[in-house]
Amino acid sequence: MKSSDKEIKTLTKAELAARLHDKYGSKRDLSKATSMRFIESLFQKMEKTLSSGEEVKISSFGSFIVRKKRARIGRNPKTGVEAKISERRVVTFRSSQALKNDLNGI
What are the DSSP calls for the chain, one per residue? --GGGS---PPPHHHHHHHHHHHHHHHHT--HHHHHHHHHHHHHHHHHHHHTT--EEETTTEEEEEEEE--EEEE-TTT--EEEE--EEEEEEEE-HHHHHHHTT-
105: left (phi over 0), alpha (psi -120 to 50) or beta: left
The string of pLDDT tens digits covering residues 41-89 is 999 999 999 999 999 999 999 999 999 999 999 999 999 999 999 999 9
Give the confidence band of 1 by pLDDT, cuts at 50, 70, 90.
very low
What percent of the chain lies above the pLDDT cut of 70? 94
pTM more than 0.95: no
